[in-house]
Chain A
């Protein structure tokens, strides 16, 4: 997948290859976000369900007619129009149930007359999507509910897809969504863009949600690889939407920089056999150069601010890895310095401390690194974390203590980890 293919939601004629009638990758999924956001603004957030049902109806209609009639000139606009009409029909049927239906109906009908594809309308759609991101990421909603709601409503993921990405039951995710929607109603969360007074807090909440989605996809403990990769690129898409808006701050650019620079390495993380490859052993030719360029572009924009956020430091770390021509030229003292900064900003995050220990080993030798690891072993968050055991095993091996290393790797195999990671550990064990 290239950066061009991952670019923001399709618009105009760009969402279709005229000659072959092939749809842009993820067109339906991305169009869900735009259409639902647009309809929810017109219908009001209380009718979010109706907005979602209308889009569902439009996609079903496409499924029934496009195979026979061909793909319409502008598939995205087609879906929007049909969803729009479906919402109007539903409202008409229930018109007397609710007194403000009439006003909404008038607004819906007015909105239909705006030409899709016109620049002002495209701008409106982007603005609607932005409002929806802020609503789904509202700090009043619990984080797990925020994540599920964003993926469903803005990202166009199904309950089952979200469940498979988070190794949860369909029912648990469905529950989370119900809860999130109830919280939206009870707390009367609107689709208004945050005002200056609350912008920082609202933006923080959105950035945290997006970064969480990315990390869930990137960490790849278990589960389907494809859906996890999709999470990474959905996080990137959301980040880009914020970064392209008028409220983009240096912190937003810093987040997009981290995500783009890390996502650039995704194609090189696994070899042909599907086995994990350590960062140091990765074939840099397989890194996505478009994403690296995009990452550095946002990194440059992120420096404008006074404030140094966690995302700034993470971006600087990712940039340092990316800039090194090969393993031997990675600037480990600089990375260690950045991890020290990160630890100071993000409090005592044990995963950051573990990464720092790796940098310590690179700068001061395996014995020092191991000493750092030993201080982390009691941490409840890391106790059953395969990576801590894998790193500890690696350092013990470097120190000429292969029996102890083998014990570590065997224990790591007992932890939650992905199949490629499992094979990696078995290779290490076999190599002793």
Chain B
């Protein structure tokens, strides 16, 4: 079965507006989604923006994370199984993250 990567983007400051009760409800929805049989794994990314490595004039260098126009940052990834993009989309459409941010869906070649 092909695998798809979900990259979860959101604006971290948006979460601060939630009440404790809303946070718990949201957390429970994420956890329930993560338990679905077609979810292979999920990983949280560190809150900083990481580093970007590139060569300038043949010299490789690392700089602080990607500069972005938007406030949305990639916060986590999931791998899921699906037979094609249509099914992968269908399985992602009710992901609770869509109440807070966007999801980028990419097929992985195996």
- Chain A residues with CB under 8 Å of chain B are 21-23, 26-29, 31-32, 56, 59-60, 62-71, 156-158, 160-161, 230
* Contact code string B43-70 (vs A, CB < 8 Å = 1, else 0): 1100100000000000000000000000
Do residues A23 and B20 form an inter-chain contact, with CB atoms below 8 A?
A: no
Q: A26-B21, A160-B19 are in contact. Are A68 and B28 (CB under 8 A)?
A: no
Return chain A residues, CB-CB under 8 Å to B15: 60, 63
- Chain B residues with CB under 8 Å of chain A are 12, 15-16, 18-24, 26-28, 30-31, 34, 42-44, 47, 75-76
Do residues A158 and B22 form an inter-chain contact, with CB atoms below 8 A?
A: yes
Return chain A residues, CB-CB under 8 Å to B43: 68
Give the 3 A-B residue pairs with the shortest CB-CB distance, closest first: A158-B19, A67-B30, A28-B20
Cα distance, A261 to B20, chains bound together (Å): 28
Do residues A64 and B75 form an inter-chain contact, with CB atoms below 8 A?
A: yes
Return chain B residues, CB-CB under 8 Å to A21: 31
CB-contact partner of A63 in B19, B26, B34, B42, under 8 A: B26
Do residues A32 and B20 form an inter-chain contact, with CB atoms below 8 A?
A: yes
Do residues B34 and A68 form an inter-chain contact, with CB atoms below 8 A?
A: yes
Return chain A residues, CB-CB under 8 Å to B42: 67-68
Q: A67-B34, A69-B44 are in contact. Are A59 and B23 (CB under 8 A)?
A: yes
Cα distance, A160 to B23, chains bound together (Å): 14
Do residues B47 and A157 form an inter-chain contact, with CB atoms below 8 A?
A: no
CB-contact partner of A161 in B19, B23, B28, B31, under 8 A: B19
Cα distance, A59 to B27, chains bound together (Å): 10
Smallest beta-carbon distance A237→chain B, Å: 14
Return chain B residues, CB-CB under 8 Å to A69: 44
Do residues B44 and A65 form an inter-chain contact, with CB atoms below 8 A?
A: yes
Q: Which residue of A lies closest to B97 (CB)?
A: A67
Return chain A residues, CB-CB under 8 Å to B23: 28, 59-60, 62-63
Do residues B19 and A157 form an inter-chain contact, with CB atoms below 8 A?
A: yes
Q: Which residue of B lies closest to A64 (CB)?
A: B44
Q: Which residue of B lies closest to A157 (CB)?
A: B19
Return chain B residues, CB-CB under 8 Å to A31: 20
Do residues B34 and A23 form an inter-chain contact, with CB atoms below 8 A?
A: no
Return chain A residues, CB-CB under 8 Å to B12: 60
Return chain B residues, CB-CB under 8 Å to A60: 12, 15-16, 23
Cα distance, A68 to B47, chains bound together (Å): 14
Return chain B residues, CB-CB under 8 Å to A28: 20-21, 23-24
Do residues A62 and B27 form an inter-chain contact, with CB atoms below 8 A?
A: yes
Do residues B31 and A71 form an inter-chain contact, with CB atoms below 8 A?
A: yes
Centre residue among A68, A158, A230 by max chain B CB count within 10 A? A68
Name 19 A/B residue pairs within 8 A (Cβ), A-sorted. Answer: A21-B31, A26-B24, A28-B20, A56-B16, A59-B20, A60-B16, A63-B15, A64-B47, A64-B76, A65-B44, A66-B31, A67-B30, A67-B44, A67-B76, A68-B76, A69-B44, A156-B21, A158-B21, A160-B19
Cα distance, A161 to B16, chains bound together (Å): 14
Centre residue among B18, B24, B34 by max chain A CB count within 10 A? B24
Q: Which residue of A lies closest to B8 (CB)?
A: A67
Do residues A158 and B24 form an inter-chain contact, with CB atoms below 8 A?
A: no
Do residues A68 and B19 form an inter-chain contact, with CB atoms below 8 A?
A: no
Given contacts A68-B76, A158-B19, 9 further A-B contacts (CB under 8 A): A26-B21, A28-B21, A31-B20, A32-B20, A56-B16, A60-B12, A62-B27, A63-B27, A65-B44
CB-contact partner of B24 in A29, A67, A157, under 8 A: A29
Q: Which residue of A lies closest to B41 (CB)?
A: A68
Do residues B20 and A158 form an inter-chain contact, with CB atoms below 8 A?
A: yes
